[in-house]
């Protein structure tokens, strides 16, 4: 099954039917789930140094590649500091369709490797790859700044203010053992309050299907066996980071941190590099329109 799936290319994924989940549906909740395990003080043996990190404030190399002039915003989900700022992250913010917590702690592996650390490491690796292609890359959070959050509405505003050509939020899920695989979350059509996703639904779907195809090809991680009916694509209308976006944007849940097989991949620096490569190739394909 895995071998057959790995042979798929983005063109095949573009023909997939999209499985809609209304109001969150049945999910593990990596995009907005509160973890049950607190972060560990040190690094686990399975999680190598975040070797793709560029010190905060260090300027990028001059853009010179095929994506020169393109802006990409990467949103590493959650924040290590959220564990110490419960009052702040529990504050409700308006996401258009309703009000929701500012942010959550995210999930973790059973050994304590947190989603927040995972997402930031993948974001750093992805930034490096995209900058090599000439893109201007902005992160919604970087290192220890800010100390918590940002709130989900602010994460959307960062992409909007940058006039991003593409934006992606990096996550990992926290479902049950045996539930494995990745899925890409697409914005559903929302027109309520401050939210109006109608102009971005089409281009976001294009971005998401391309990312799903290249992520599958580069990582060998199968599409989720518990969401999306095997397509690797899920549409949601309850995520502030998507509802409030005015630029093409998707979320990717790279795997399930609570499944032992997926956790072994997510805690591998080598695999995280492949994950970043897969996401990068999907974004590049989208921005080139090829």
Phi and psi torsions of 69, nearest 5° = 95, -10
Measure Cα distances from 70 to 63, 164, 187 in Å: 10, 8, 22
CA angle 67, 69, 72 (to 5 degrees): 70
Q: What burial class does residue 143 get, using C-beta atoms within 10 Å of its C-beta: 0-12 exposed, 13-18 middle, 19+ buried? A: middle
CA angle 97, 119, 200 (to 5 degrees): 40
C-alpha 130 chain-centroid distance: 15
The residue with tokens 């066996």 is 225
SS3 108: strand
Residues in Cβ contact with 202 at an 8 Å cutoff, skipping those fewer than 6 apart: none
Assess whether 101 carries a catalytic annotation. no
Give me 158's structure tokens.
């960062």
| From 131, 218, 253, 281, active-site residue | 253
The residue with tokens 């973890």 is 35
**Catalytic residue positions, numbered:** 253
């Amino acid at each position: 099954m895995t071998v057959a799936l790995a042979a798929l290319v983005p063109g095949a994924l573009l023909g997939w039917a999209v499985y809609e989940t209304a109001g969150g549906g049945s999910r593990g909740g990596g995009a907005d789930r509160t973890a049950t395990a607190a972060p560990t003080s040190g690094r686990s043996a399975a999680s190598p140094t975040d070797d793709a990190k560029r010190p905060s404030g260090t300027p990028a190399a001059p853009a010179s590649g095929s994506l020169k002039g393109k802006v990409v915003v990467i949103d590493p989900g959650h924040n290590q500091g959220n564990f110490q700022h419960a009052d702040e992250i529990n504050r409700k913010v308006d996401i258009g369709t309703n009000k929701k917590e500012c942010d959550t702690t995210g999930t973790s592996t059973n050994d304590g490797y947190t989603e927040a650390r995972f997402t930031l490491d993948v974001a750093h690796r992805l930034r490096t790859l995209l900058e090599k292609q000439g893109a201007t890359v902005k992160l919604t959070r970087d290192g220890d700044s800010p100390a918590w959050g940002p709130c989900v509405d602010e994460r959307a505003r960062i992409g909007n203010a940058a006039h991003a050509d593409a934006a992606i939020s990096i996550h990992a899920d926290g479902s049950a053992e045996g539930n494995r695989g990745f899925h890409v979350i697409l914005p559903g059509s929302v027109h309520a309050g401050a939210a109006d996703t109608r102009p971005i639904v089409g281009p976001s779907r294009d971005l998401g299907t391309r990312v799903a195809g290249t992520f599958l090809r580069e990582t060998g991680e199968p599409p989720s066996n518990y969401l999306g009916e095997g397509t690797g694509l899920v549409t949601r209308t309850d995520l502030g980071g998507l509802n409030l976006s005015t630029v093409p944007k998707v979320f990717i849940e790279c795997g399930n941190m609570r499944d032992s097989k997926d956790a072994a991949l997510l805690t591998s620096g080598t695999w995280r590099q492949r994950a970043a490569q897969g996401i990068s190739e999907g974004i590049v394909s989208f921005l080139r329109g090829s």
